[in-house]
A and B are shown apart, each in its own frame.
Chain A
Amino acid sequence: MPDARVIPLPGLGPATPDESSGTEPEGGTAPSPERGHSEPAHPEPERPEAEHPEAERPRSVAGDEPGTPGWERALAGALAFVRRRLAGEYQVDEFGFDPDLTDNVLLPALRPLYENWFRVDVIGVHNLPSQGGALVVANHSGTLPLDALMTAYGVHAEHPAHRYLRMLGADLVFRLPVVGVLARKSGQTLACHPDAERLLRSGELVGVWPEGFKGVGKPFRDRYKLQRFGRGGFVSAALRTGAPIVPCAIVGAEEIYPKIGDIKALARLLGLPYFPVTPTFPLLGPLGAVPLPSKWYIEFGEPIPTDGFGEGAADDPMLVFNLTDQVRETIQQTLYRLLTQRRNVFLG
């Protein structure tokens, strides 16, 4: 089984980072058959090979000769990764995105949550372009923005080109220690026009959650009711760059931390947009941080082209409002459809 997922690529280490790296929590067990995708060894097309000039060295030791067991390749990959980190031999882009760390540590860390806990089903991944810029617009929910993390993991894992979803986050994310650093290193940046347009122009897949805190922090009784979609800033960014908008509906995230209350005074004290009360938090203390294991569906809808509106379309507020509404309606309808198909919150 492990042989199936090693593609010898010149310049790359012998171990593909995703399955076989030692940092991966499951320890390189055989893939469970019920998984929809079989992970055919990430060739990582986005990473320039010059990035790992050192990768030759361990390969000569670990050997590419047939019959090298998977764990040994994993070990070699992990050691090469550690050496790269120690020597600072990796590239980050201007947003602080660190593909080496993302592939080897951050994304693998999300895998158990994605596959075993939420059992995410991704629908319509073919609606994401395999190259060029596009703007993924999704509904936001769940008290903590796990939906964003799961969408990013899903896009990278399920898309044939294994694209990275570069998400736009609130400034609070980047103000927080550790969280802000991890967000930048995994490719996220501040939700603002310059950053959105810069990413789209350079042909990245950009993810945006226009409801913001209103969406992620809405009370449980308002679940699956889309909030106001900001001021349509994401639409004008797409119009300016001509990038298509891909509506994305996420079902399941609403139930992970049912927010039944909000301690406003505490939120103000801590400088947070809300301080949630869920059935388990803060009642059970740290245990309350364990999300409920709802079954998730993430559906990408048909792309809405934005390049046919001509010059100055982004400065036409009526067009921007209409497009915003169109995207919002599409997501809302998809949510309703997915919800009617769902029989059980936890079993799907």
Chain B
Amino acid sequence: MAPKVVLVTGVSRFLGGHLAARLAADPAIDRVLGVDTVPPSRDLQRRMGRAEFVRADIRNPLIAKIIASTSVDTVVHASITATPQGSSGRAAMKEMNVIGTMQLLAACQQAPTVRRLVVKSTSAVYGASSRDPAVFTEDMGPKDLPSSGYAKDAVEVEGYVRGFSRRRPDVAVTTLRFTNFVGPRIDTVLTRYFAMPVVPVMVGYDARVQLLHSEDALAVLERAARHHLPGTYNVGADGVLMLSQAIRRAGRIALPVPPVAVPAVARLVRSAGLVDFPPDQLRFLHFGRIVDTTLLKQEFGFTPRWTTQQAFDDYVTGRGLRPLVDPDRVSAVERGILDVAGKLRAR
């Protein structure tokens, strides 16, 4: 079944907005409705073309009227986010993530036209600890339930989504557990983190990081919106970067922070307006997280085009991050030393 009327939440953000734009570019889809509390940027609006922007709060029952009156058949819930918008802070983010999802699901449950639901979740639902296996498959759960923040939101959201799919077995529900996004244009906690000239890291720990290029993320969301692919899938690129390695590839300098100073540094970085690193994601910086993407490739039928390294390098070049230590200079020094060595031998 090809979708006729698609509703996308969170269109003022990168993924929601660009997904709406991609779907709007397809003439086979009659209507694309984009919902968010704030309008997308002008540039994003231009890209979205014929997609209609509906300024609505998914926490408000009004969303049910929109879905019913436009007979939406496919809902893409892409507004679950780790980055609080504006100054409203984490409480508002949680409201938006959890209460928004509840309202949206309630509205979908009432609407007989809805046949497909795509939820953008996160691999943060697996947590991050020393007791976890190296690679998470979809059937695994976290060792300790995340106690706060984005990961907890996502766990709760997935719980409500499971409840919804029990009550509406006729709706195909696709839950996508994304790894961290990078890309030249997307703005996430990690892209801001690596853009800092001096990057604070946990002393004595080095996380394994799996990334996903934002274009691959869009392609996955689009594929889920277009095709009947129910189930829960991990979505991440192939390959692994160590956090220290990524920092070096970006030409940044790592600043090891001892555990006692971590809250202070996190506060400092937040108040300087650089990165708002939620406490729950600090655990991610200790251990990192890798997910298995066999199901994505074999059942969902998608292989990411960028590997983790390529995606990261694309982000670095796309952002124009200038390395603090020029690699050419390193090679020059190396050549110099070897020349001297050669001369010593010649004598």
Q: Does A195 contact B (CB under 8 A)?
A: yes
Contact of B246 among A72, A88, A93, A194 (CB under 8 A): A88
Which one of A82, A180, A194 lies within 8 Å of B137 (CB-CB)?
A: A194
- CB pair B132 A87 closer than 8 Å: no
Whether, in the assembled complex, B272 has its beta carbon less than 8 Å from a beta carbon of chain A, the answer is no
Beta-carbon contact of B132 and A190 below 8 Å: yes
Complex formed: what's the CA distance from A276 to B244 in Å? 34
B-contacting residues, A27-86, CB 8 Å: 57-58, 61-63, 68-69, 72, 75-76, 79-80, 82-83, 85-86
Are A178 and B204 interface neighbours, CB within 8 A? Answer: yes
Beyond A86-B330, A87-B327, whether A181 also contacts B204 by CB under 8 A is: yes
Contact A177 B248 (CB under 8 A): no
> Measured between C-beta atoms, what is the minimum distance from B210 to chain A in Å?
8
Chain B residues within 8 Å of chain A by Cβ, number: 39
> Which residue from A87, A92, A184 sits with its C-beta under 8 Å from B248?
A87
CB contacts (< 8 Å) of B325 on chain A: these are 86
Chain B residue nearest in CB terms to A87: B327
Question: By the criterion of a CB under 8 Å from any partner CB, how many residues of chain A are at the interface?
Answer: 42
Chain B residue nearest to A190 (CB atoms) is: B133
Contacts of B240 in A (CB 8 A): 92-94, 96
B335 within 8 A of A: yes
Known interface pairs A72-B345, A96-B240, A195-B134. Does A90 touch B245 (Cβ–Cβ under 8 Å)? yes
Bound: A25/B335 CA distance, A: 24
Contact between B342 and A72 (Cβ–Cβ < 8 Å)? yes
Near A by CB (< 8 A), chain B positions 133-190 give 133-135, 137, 140
Kindly provide the distance from the CB of B125 to the nearest chain A CB, expressed in whole angstroms. 17
Whether a CB of chain A sits under 8 angstroms from the CB of B116 is no
Q: A72-B345, A75-B337 are in contact. Are A92 and B130 (CB under 8 A)?
A: no
CB-defined contacts of B137 to chain A, threshold 8 Å: 194
Q: How far is the CB of B98 from chain A (nearest CB, A)?
A: 30
- Knowing A88-B249, A94-B290 are in contact, say whether A58-B334 is a contact too (CB < 8 A): yes
A198 within 8 A of B: yes
Question: Assuming the A-B contacts A75-B337, A87-B330, A177-B203, are A194 and B245 also in contact, with contact meaning beta carbons closer than 8 angstroms in the complex?
Answer: no
Contacts of B342 in A (CB 8 A): 61-63, 72
Contact (A88, B245) CB under 8 Å given A171-B131, A178-B204, A192-B133: yes
Assess whether B134 is in contact with A95, with CB atoms less than 8 Å apart.
Answer: yes
Collect the chain B residues with CB atoms within 8 Å of residue A143's CB: none
Q: Is B268 part of the contact surface with A, judged by Cβ < 8 Å?
A: no
**Chain A hits for B130, CB < 8 A:** 171, 174-175, 180, 190
CB distance from A188 to the nearest CB of B (A): 10
A190 touches B338 (CB 8 A): no
Q: How far is the CA of A256 from the CA of B327 in the complex (A)?
A: 45
Taking a contact as CB atoms under 8 Å apart, the answer to whether A61 and B339 are in contact is yes
Q: How far is the CA of A75 from the CA of B341 in the complex (A)?
A: 9
- Does B241 have its Cβ within 8 Å of any Cβ on chain A? yes
Bits for B320-347, please: 1 = Cβ < 8 Å to A, else 0: 0000010100110011011101100100
With the chains together, A80 CA to B337 CA distance in Å?
Answer: 11
Question: How far does the Cβ of A285 sit from chain B's closest Cβ, in whole Å?
Answer: 23
0/1 interface trace, chain A 193-224, chain B, CB 8 Å (1 if under): 01100100000000000000000000000000
Question: How many angstroms from the CA of A315 to the CA of B339 in the assembled complex?
Answer: 64
**With A88-B245, A184-B208 as contacts: A94 and B334 at CB distance below 8 Å:** no
Docked complex Cα distance between A72 and B340 (Å) = 10
- A194 touching B334 by the CB < 8 A rule? no
Q: Is the CB of A79 within 8 A of B338?
A: yes
CB neighbours (8 Å) of A94 from chain B are 134-135, 208, 240, 290
A189 proximal to B (CB < 8 A): yes
Cα A194 to Cα B140 with chains together (Å): 10
Are A86 and B248 in contact, with the CB atoms below 8 A?
A: yes
The residue in chain B whose Cβ has the minimal distance to the Cβ of A174 is: B130
**A121 at the A/B interface (Cβ < 8 Å)?**
no
Query: In the complex, A76 Cα to B341 Cα: how many Å?
Result: 9
B162 to chain A, nearest CB (A): 23
Contacts of B140 in A (CB 8 A): 194
- Please indicate the chain A residues that have their CB under 8 angstroms from the CB of B62 in the complex: none
Min CB distance B258 to A, Å, is 9
Q: How far is the CB of B139 from chain A (nearest CB, A)?
A: 10
- Selected from A58, A87, A184, A195, the residue in CB contact (under 8 A) with B135 is A195
Contacts of B222 in A (CB 8 A): none
B329 CB to closest chain A CB (Å) equals 10
How distant is the Cα of A49 from the Cα of B140 in the complex, in angstroms? 35
A302 CB-CB contact with B under 8 Å: no
A76 touches B248 (CB 8 A): no
A98 at the binding interface (Cβ < 8 Å): yes
Q: How far is the CB of A303 from chain B (nearest CB, A)?
A: 25
Q: Which residues of A contact B338 (CB under 8 A)?
A: 58, 61-62, 72, 75-76, 79
Find chain A residues with CB under 8 A from B131 CB.
171, 174-175, 190
List B residues at the A interface (Cβ < 8 Å).
Answer: 130-135, 137, 140, 202-206, 208, 239-242, 244-249, 287-288, 290, 325, 327, 330-331, 334-335, 337-339, 341-342, 345
What would 14 more interface pairs be, CB under 8 Å, given A61-B338, A88-B244, A190-B130?
A79-B334, A80-B334, A86-B330, A87-B330, A92-B240, A94-B208, A95-B134, A171-B131, A174-B130, A175-B130, A176-B204, A177-B205, A185-B242, A190-B133
A interface with B by C-beta (< 8 Å)? 57-58, 61-63, 68-69, 72, 75-76, 79-80, 82-83, 85-88, 90-96, 98, 171, 174-178, 180-181, 184-185, 189-190, 192, 194-195, 198
> 5 tightest CB-CB pairs across the interface, nearest first?
A177-B204, A88-B248, A88-B249, A175-B130, A174-B130
Name 8 A/B residue pairs within 8 A (Cβ), A-sorted. A72-B341, A87-B330, A92-B241, A92-B242, A95-B134, A96-B134, A96-B288, A185-B242
